[in-house]
Structure 1
Amino acid sequence: MYHHVKKLMYTVRVDEPDPRFGNMLLEQFGGANGELAAAMQYSIQGLNCEDPARKDLLMDIGTEELSHLEVVGTLARLHLKPLKFGREAAEADPLIAIAGGGGVNLFNSQGNPWTADYLKITGELDVDLRSNIAAEARAKIVYERLIDFCDDAGTKDALQFLMTREITHMKSFAAALDSMGKPRFSIGRIAPTEKLVDQYFNDSTGKGDHGEIDTRGPWNEGDAWEVVEAPAFQDMRQDLSGAESPAIHPESSYGTDPEGLQEVLLDQLHDLLHAEKQLLKALPKMVKAARTTRLQELFQLHLQETELQVDRLTECFRLLEAPARAKPCKGMMGLLEEGQEVIKEGAKKEDVPSDLALIGAAQKVEHYEISGYICARNLAQQLHMSAISQLLGLSLAEEQNADQLLDQVSRTLMSVPAMPAPIE
């Protein structure tokens, strides 16, 4: 919920309006590195964020950026004001004077309209935080240049405030990223190819007209770095000189014998097969125990999905030329036993508490299956078994979707419509 207070975050004072400088200010109003882009980027990231603490951070800063937008817009409007009344001033920027009436609009300093293409939103929290740090750094530089080109003391004060807040936000985003405890280069889920990830391709060679030379530094030597000289001409150079050069490592290397990995994959599949077969027996009981229609429908839908998942696992065994034999899955057995207790206790509860407890038990099952499918799919990918990986990926997507749908029902059951408390 947003609420506007009729007071700027920073009091704006413009003693000497300058329409040309007002045009420059529009870069931070409707430009790629401007306040609107930042506000939208952080707020949308916040809406998508499942981490409550960092969601709060994103929404806090996203909302502050809207306040900055108001400050920049006010500054720009005051500087552009002469365009409303004077022909000579209006000729300095006809687009603003004629089309915009001498006021601000969602354009950058070149007259290009604002676009959502400015936003960098991936849905991966650590990646988005890195983008935000870079966005704040770019905005800081823009404000610095605006200050350099500004002659009005009051405007400089406001720009100094805005520039400083960019650094504040950088510090917050950096701290949030560091607190996640992820290694710097751990991006996404799939690991990079070993050895190849440490190879530096020297693709710009020779000596330039202005004395440019090949250089070495911590970005391409030391630690695990291995320089591959002119990869495009590697074979030709070896043929001519006979000199040895590090070869490109295009294929991933197994951490162990592929047969050992396949054995682990089979073990995971046996476990998943038994888990899914147990769930086939439990889901009808969960359908019967659910009180709300929506929850009953979800359990019924997942029962159908589970039948398909058993078929997919059976197909995986066929592709591996191995018997589709279920291995007792003690983890699932324990979860379903706990779920049976929840059903029994839920019979004594009201509808909402009963269904919430049932959803909790169901989500524990989903998370167990999700982890199992992720492990099995990753093993299949490492073994280059694309057909098996695809089958497991389909089941994984269904499990993740089921978990999200259960979460939605849970939130609906927990929500209580109420008017917000008045702001004092």
Structure 2
Amino acid sequence: MSQPISEATINKFKQALANKPSAGALQRAVMNNGINATSESTAAKAKMAQTFSIDLHAEKVANQKQSGRCWMFAALNTMRRSLADQFNLKDFELSQNYTFFWDKFEKSNYFYENILATATEPTSSRKVAFLLTTPQQDGGQWDMLTALIDKYGIVPKYAMPETYSSSKSSELNGLLNLKLRKDAVTLRQLVQDKASDAEISTAREKMLGEVYRILAYTLGEPPVEFDFEYRDDNKKYHIDQHLTPKAFFDKYVGWDLDDYQSIINAPTEDKPYNQLYTVEMLGNVVGGRQVRHLNLNIDDFKQLAIKQLENGEAVWFGSDVGQASDRQIGIMDTAIYDKDALFDVDFGLTKAQRLDYAESLMTHAMVITGVDLVAGKPTKWKVENSWGDKVGEKGYFVMSDAWFDEFVYQIVINKKYLSDAQQASTKKDPKVLAPWDPMGALASH
């Protein structure tokens, strides 16, 4: 039923506002200070002290700067902790630019793959429109980083340091997406013209060569071999010469990446718990590791994170960092802003409703390095961010357990902490979700 707004309706609203005794004072406060500052709770802030019953050693916080590489930083930060523990190396960093280069390169090829797979569909089809909206971007997920490491390994930061475009990626993304869209025109036309597989392959290889050149100019060329040279925290000198990136990962990190499983908490009706999911057209390496999520209820989800922390291992996690958080002081808490009371409006949604109605999804990946347990129950969590040491407590944030319940969507857990039933679920064929499903969101803040 059509219902335009009448002048009488507006006058009714104006009178209702005039009748609220506190309206004038609240209006002045919000107009002068903004919504968040006016609704911020001092009592909530007081509860978020950086004290935890389980607290892994602190590393110097890295800084992704003006790029969307949080997922990459978070994953490499979990791995550098293992390296630091084994070889007495504090505040050591792995090269985020190295994995950034290969991610951009592989995402370009992944885009070509999907463009060719949908080449007979009109550009107005939802899948093609989805692909062309963002041909590639900085964001990603855990399994996408492990796919890169499987193929290319990793290197220390000094072996491939940051550049202008790795730390401030908007120019590169704009240029690369322009090129990929242009290439999409060519590839779709070749299919329409019934070009042979050989002709398409030749055109695609030429396109990839141009992508490589763009990346080499902006990010530098990845090293094929390097020397691992360092002094440990006891000032003892070490050198290991002529290492390849894959040999470096195998020797100095030594993880079996197949041991790590992405766990999600998505309490929506379309995703029953204890089932495995993947997302169509989500990935970066053609023929590489598939993104696979095991969906668990929130209690099992949190207990796995606690088990891993109790055994001295940090936890990669994905969340909606912009919700109910104060970036400057480093607090994420559902009680930090009382906007319901400020506006006398009920803004409440369940976690499932936020996912179903596009209010929330995973936007940012970080690392859990501690938890405060009271009577065996978590009350707050310690978080290593990748926004430098000028925010939070030298870059570390504190997350309330209530915020964890509502806005944490993904953790990565060593399979040894999973129950037998959970491990069995990881071995089943995954249900394929649509490309635009919220569980396909890329952490990019």
TM-score, structure 2 as length reference: 0.19
Between Structure 1 and Structure 2, the one with more strand by share is 2
Larger relative contact order, structure 1 or 2 (CA cutoff 8 Å, min sep 6): 2
TM-score, structure 1 as length reference: 0.20
